[in-house]
Amino acid sequence: MSRILIRGGRIVDAGTEVDTMADLLLEDGKVVGQGVGLSEDGATVIEARGCWVTPGFIDLHTHLREPGQEYKEDIATGGRSAAAGGFTAIACMANTQPVNDDPATTDFIIDRAAHDSPVAVYPVAAATKGLEGKVMTEMSALVAAGARAFSDDGKTIMDSGVMRRVLEYSRLVEMPVITHAEDRTLVAGGVVNEGAVSTRLGLPGNPSLAEEIHISRDLMLARITGAHLHVAHVSTKGGVEQIRIARDHGIHVTAEVAPHHLTLTDEATLGFDTNAKVAPPLRSAEDRDACRAGLADGTIDCIATDHAPHAQHEKELDFREAPPGMIGFETAVGVTLDLVRSGELSPLEWVRRMSTAPARILRVPGGTLARGSVADVTIVDPERVYTYDPAKGFSKSRNSPWAGRTLTGRVTHTIVGGQLVYDVEQGILT
């Protein structure tokens, strides 16, 4: 029998709406009790004074690059980086090589994760073969193999007829469709947000309209099909407004926002820093503030990192040529606690967006510390200050716009299925 007693922390659990000082007892992979002064009999004790004890974070948008691009990341390193960031479960996108568009690849990812990753890995399968936006994948077979959602993330399904069909079939298998909402004809090669910054840099701009028009189309398709549409990495004010209206009209839509779109603007690209190049791009301060407001009022359900590792030699290319994306597991807590410090989110609402909401969207275990639930637990010291150095992290890649920045708030322990997999002082323990 394995027992862990987490002692003296502040339990912040949006799954049970609890925010209280108490001990938490885990036994044989399950949460068995909460209370003051619980007996430590036979238990490994973790002192959590001054820390928040939360259900493990769940990241429903990541890129692990395996199979095919292991020089950027693999399931082992991505899983370790996730654990160090406090994530106990992650969903990985299908833009691998080969694309995860057939059950054999889904199977491979699940198998590899079971051996190599300290955290649970849920594959998101491609919605169309080869991410080409033309022919639907075989959804039932992919679900049978373990896919938890469908997405052509990284690419946009431009053909509305295909997207309609994808949404219709997703209902039959009861899985969400995650849309990467950027109309390619409007992006038209833009590499930074279209506006004063793109003009100053002399780089082609990607207008917010590209996102807004596409979210609008997908919401209309979600309305007529009744499917569950999940909007990935919302970055625009217009996008947030449309999702808010759609919700009010009863459309089944959920949405996520990435830490970078909550805290950075296109000004971060002024020095041609390719680590700030991402798709969709960093936007204006007005867009960023609308994303923050949308997350605060619940229009946007959750925070997802869009962890997108790329090798140094790729990011050292000219801004137009460098691939978009940034790593995000190990900075997500320090970066997004900014919204708690500012008073935009209470600790409980922050935990809801990091854990409880993504668990419900993916319909996977976790997101709660209720008695009997899986012992996936994250301990966060919200006051711990550190200088972030990606070279000391667990990802194979270092493409972070926060390298060298001082962050406040850090994960001290990550427990998956009742097993301590990360301790800030000792590193990864599996």
Tell me whether residue 55 or residue 325 sits nearer to ligand DOR (CB atom).
Answer: 325
Among the listed residues 308, 322, 359, 361, the single contact to ligand DOR using CB under 6 A: 308
Cα dihedral 59, 61, 62, 66 sign: positive
Q: Cβ distance 232 to 279 under 8 Å?
A: no
**Residue range at the interface with ligand DOR (CB under 6 A); choices 191-199, 254-262, 293-301, 321-329:** 321-329
Q: Cβ distance 359 to 58 under 8 Å?
A: yes
* Whole-number Å distance between alpha carbons of 394 and 77: 6
Among the listed residues 8, 55, 133, 154, the single contact to ligand DOR using CB under 6 A: 154
**Residue range at the interface with ligand DOR (CB under 6 A); choices 163-171, 213-221, 322-330, 408-416:** 322-330
Cis link prior to 323 (omega < 30° from 0)?
A: no
Q: Is 180 a residue that touches ligand DOR (CB under 6 A)?
A: yes
Q: What is the nearest approach in angstroms of ligand DOR to the Cβ of residue 191? A: 11
Q: Is 95 a residue that touches ligand DOR (CB under 6 A)?
A: yes
Which x/- pattern over 243-282 shows residues binding ligand DOR (rule: CB under 6 A)? -----------------------------------xx---
**Residue range at the interface with ligand DOR (CB under 6 A); choices 124-132, 245-253, 318-326, 368-376:** 318-326
Q: Cβ distance 310 to 62 under 8 Å?
A: no
Q: Pick the closest to residue 325 from 336, 313, 315 (CA basis).
A: 315
Hey, which residues between 60 and 79 contact ligand DOR (CB under 6 A)?
Answer: 63
Residues 6+ apart with CB under 8 A from 375: 4, 26, 27, 29, 30, 31, 415, 417, 418
Residues 6+ apart with CB under 8 A from 343: none
**Residue range at the interface with ligand DOR (CB under 6 A); choices 11-19, 199-207, 222-230, 323-331:** 323-331
Tell me whether residue 175 or residue 279 sits nearer to ligand DOR (CB atom).
Answer: 279
Residues 6+ apart with CB under 8 A from 77: 394, 395, 396
Which x/- pattern over 209-248 shows residues binding ligand DOR (rule: CB under 6 A)? ----------------------------------------
CB neighbours of residue 372 within 10 Å: 8
Is 300 exposed, middle or buried, given 0-12, 13-18 or 19+ CB atoms closer than 10 A? buried
CA 97 to chain centre: 21
Given 59, 306, 376, 381, the catalytic residue:
306
Which x/- pattern over 366-405 shows residues binding ligand DOR (rule: CB under 6 A)? ----------------------------------------
* Catalytic residue check, 41: no
Binding residues (CB under 6 A) for ligand DOR: these are: 63, 95, 153-154, 180, 278-279, 308, 323-325
User: Which residues are tagged catalytic?
Assistant: 306
